[in-house]
Amino acid sequence: MNVIRAIDVQKSYSGILAVDGVSLSIKKGEIFALIGPNGAGKTTLINCLTGTTSFNSGSIQILNDTPHNVTKSKISLLPQSFEPPTHLTASELITYFSGLYGIKADPHHILKKVGLSSQSNKRFYELSGGQKRRICVGISIINDPEILFLDEPTTGIDPAGRFEIWDLIETMASSGSTIFLTTHYMHEVERLADRIGVILNGKLIVTGTPSELITKFGGDCTLTLKTTSDISSSFKEFYPSFKDGHLHFNNIQSNQIGPLLIQIENLNVEYGSLTWNRPSLETVYMELMDGTLENVL
């Protein structure tokens, strides 16, 4: 079931299109990551989807309702910039915001989810930048939303804290919550996202799973062996090349490495270092941003 659906959405500021004809659909329980450079339209699209800004044309359905009419307790948004009352403690902030929802959330339970149990009595202004961001993530899940919009949620958070937030996001999705995520961390996208949308100049230029995008745009996996023997003629099916004491095999998948090495050893060929390079989502992203795949899209 699609819980988010946008059709040909456009949003302009002073005649400049910030969101240019975006169409997408997101299923219940899905983690959807929207990636793109600064100014590409990520935050504007989130604002349109959540009803925090109007859009010029197109249509949006959130839980079978419009962004303005959807029951607000069913969704939650963590914007890029969010600073709660700074004089309240972490525990008091959870109590304060849960009161705005008309519910009684357990501060200890929420703070534990974002790894801040030990900071419950510290005032917000006393926390580090990463801890502040984590408490903001905690505030965004107080209402146990059906749809959670996270605009760069882990910016400024240390690696250990980031892993805790990732675990939280995955747990929420496995329980049926839908997560709409923006981030500049490609390893975060590869870890979390069921599907990815790439936005550039307000246009959603491609969508797909991480593996689909890597396969389609990332190029071949390559295996490189350091050796003095040019045996490339024996493995023409892998389009090998030999240069500067290195034998390169193209389009090699991980399950092919073992059998290939057995064949090489059967030829009594000695080799030194071995390197297998798999294209990454970061490689795909950089090529898309450079426009080198413009003719493919």
Segment 88-112 mean pLDDT: 94
pLDDT, tens digit (0-9, with 9 covering 90-100), for 29-75: 999 999 999 999 999 999 999 999 999 999 999 999 999 999 989 99
Long-range pairs for 214-220 at CB < 8 Å and ≥24 separation? Answer: 214/278, 214/279, 214/280, 214/281, 214/283, 214/284, 217/284, 217/287, 217/288, 217/293, 217/296, 218/279, 218/280, 218/281, 218/283, 218/284, 219/279, 219/283, 220/250, 220/251, 220/252, 220/279
pLDDT, tens digit (0-9, with 9 covering 90-100), for 176-200: 999 999 999 999 999 999 999 999 9
Range with lowest mean pLDDT among 78-87, 161-170, 210-219: 210-219
pLDDT band at 125; cut points 50, 70, 90:
very high
The predicted pLDDT at position 292 comes to 44
The predicted pLDDT at position 215 comes to 79
pTM beyond cutoff 0.75: yes
pLDDT of 202 over the 70 cut: yes
- Note the helical H segments in the chain: 42-50, 90-100, 107-113, 129-140, 159-174, 186-192, 210-217, 254-266, 281-290
The predicted pLDDT at position 294 comes to 45
Segment 250-266 mean pLDDT: 84
pLDDT band at 297; cut points 50, 70, 90:
very low
Task: Tell me how far apart the alpha carbons of residues 169 and 182 are, in angstroms, rounded to a whole number.
Answer: 13
Range with lowest mean pLDDT among 220-229, 235-244, 286-295: 286-295
